[in-house]
Amino acid sequence: PIVTDARKVTPILKWVVKQMEERYERMAVCGVRNIQDYNERMKQHPEYEAMPFIVVVISSALVAAILRYFGIN
In the prediction, which pLDDT does 73 show?
72
If one compares 38 and 48, the residue with the highest pLDDT of the two is 38
- Average of pLDDT values for 15-38? 95
In the prediction, which pLDDT does 2 show?
85
Banded model confidence at residue 27, pLDDT cuts 50, 70, 90: very high
The single-letter DSSP state of residue 39 is H
- Alpha-carbon distance of 9 to 69, in angstroms, equals 11
Per DSSP, the chain holds a count of helices (H) and strands (E) of 3, 0
pTM for the model stands at: 0.74
